[in-house]
């Protein structure tokens, strides 16, 4: 399978999964979590798809969202089968993608460093001491 075909399939599946998860899924564990679908990897035979998602929250929120997504995986696959015209409908598995959380952490650290540098630049320079005057 060509890279272009793989890319198209991944993009098509991602668009449909985003529509299903963000707009049509009624599970409160998922709807209230603020989940973002970050990517999809469909196998070459189109039988399996790994859907990567991200959310900013603590471990408990992430575990709750994962349970909701695992519960909805069969429904998402069935709805995907209605929308795709492929020989095989991929079996969906959801995996947490820490990239947004990692990016948020890096951004906060950079802001913190910038604030320290600004504070150091605005502080008056230390006065040199002259040993002869003492």
Instruction: Quick: pLDDT tens for 25-71.
Output: 888 888 877 888 999 999 988 899 999 998 877 889 889 999 999 99
| Residue 14 pLDDT greater than 90, yes or no | yes
pLDDT attached to residue 49: 93
CB 41 within 8 A of CB 9: no
Q: Choose the CATH number for 3-116 among 3.10.350.10, 3.40.50.10490, 3.40.50.2300, 3.30.300.20.
A: 3.30.300.20
Containing 129, the helix (H) or strand (E) segment is: none
Q: Where are the domains of the chain?
A: 3-116
Please name the residue ranges forming H helices in the chain: 3-19, 28-31, 59-83, 99-122
CB 74 within 8 A of CB 68: no
pLDDT attached to residue 29: 87
Average per-residue pLDDT for the chain: 86
| Residue 132 pLDDT greater than 70, yes or no | no
């Amino acid at each position: 399978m060509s890279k272009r075909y793989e890319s198209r399939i991944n993009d098509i599946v991602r668009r449909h999964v985003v529509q299903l998860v963000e707009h049509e899924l009624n599970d409160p564990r998922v709807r209230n979590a603020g989940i973002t679908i970050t990517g999809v990897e469909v196998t070459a035979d189109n039988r399996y798809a790994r859907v990567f998602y991200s959310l900013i929250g603590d471990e408990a929120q992430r575990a709750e969202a994962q349970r909701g997504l695992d519960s909805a995986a069969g429904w998402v696959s069935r709805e995907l089968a209605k929308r795709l015209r492929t020989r095989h409908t991929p079996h969906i598995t959801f995996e947490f993608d820490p990239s947004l959380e990692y990016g948020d952490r890096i951004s906060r650290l950079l802001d913190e460093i910038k604030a320290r540098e600004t504070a150091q630049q605005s502080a008056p320079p230390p006065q040199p001491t002259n040993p002869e005057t003492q």
